[in-house]
Structure 1
Amino acid sequence: MAIVNVTDQTFSQDVEQGGTVLVDFWAPWCGPCKMIAPVLEQIDGEIGDQLTIAKVNVDDNPETAGRFGIMSIPTLLVFKDGQPVDKIVGFQPKAALMATLGKHL
């Protein structure tokens, strides 16, 4: 599956309609966000058939970022059946992300 870009307008449809979704709250100027992007691409390549990875640019979509209390980026939220079930703040290595995701797959 491919990583999808989500906006304030499409968040409900793309993320809250069920399944397991990893949402990356990021911004283009954020160094750690740039570091985590290739890790998310690797994860998508390995387990993209088991979950969707979505990216929300917090500069362009402040409504969604505010709704979930995103105070620092990158912040990753894991949604299961439309509800947030886990939160990861800051850059994490792939092994740590996979361990967190494994609890929800």
Structure 2
Amino acid sequence: MSTGVITITDTEFETEVLKSEQPVLLYFWASWCGPCKLMTMTVNNAANTYGDRLKVVKMEVDPNPTTVKQYQIEGVPAFRIVQDGQLLAATEGAIGKDKLFNFIDSHLN
């Protein structure tokens, strides 16, 4: 399985997220978002740490309005955990590594 962050768009969402055999951590970001830039290393670290049991994907909000609307993204950075096509958890705002890992751990089987 992949241990890196996968960049996706609205057109790839169904295949990469909804049809994924693994749970997915969705990371929504924007190029103009300062806190998003701070989250890059943490998200990469999560992908490397959990890559054997969690797919980590990132999606830029501005060019992907369909998924942003569907997952009710109101601010960035934002995180969603999806498994078997179902939304399991959501959080928004910049968070530290420990909080992100706790968020992931509490929703992985």
Match of 1:21 among 20, 24, 34: 24
Q: How many residues align?
A: 105
- Percent same amino acid at aligned positions? 32
Partner SS, residue 35 of structure 2? helix
Mapping for residues 69-80 of structure 1, pairs under 5 Å: 69-80=72-83
Structure 2, unmatched stretches of 5+, are: none
Distance 1:63 1:44 in 2: 24
Q: Which 4+ residue blocks in structure 1 deviate beyond 2 angstroms?
A: none
Contact 1:74 1:91 in 2 (8 A): yes
Partner SS, residue 41 of structure 1? helix
Query: 1:57-85 CA distances to partner (integer Å, 9 max, x unpaired)?
Result: 11111111011111111110011111111
2:94 maps to amino acid: F
Structure 1, unmatched stretches of 5+, are: none
Give the CA deviation at 1:46. Answer: 1.4
Give the CA deviation at 1:104. Answer: 1.9
Distance 1:43 1:54 in 2: 11
Partner SS, residue 91 of structure 2? strand
Structure 1 partner of 2:10: 8
TM-score, with normalisation over the residues of structure 1?
Answer: 0.95
2:17 maps to amino acid: V
Distance 1:102 1:20 in 2: 12
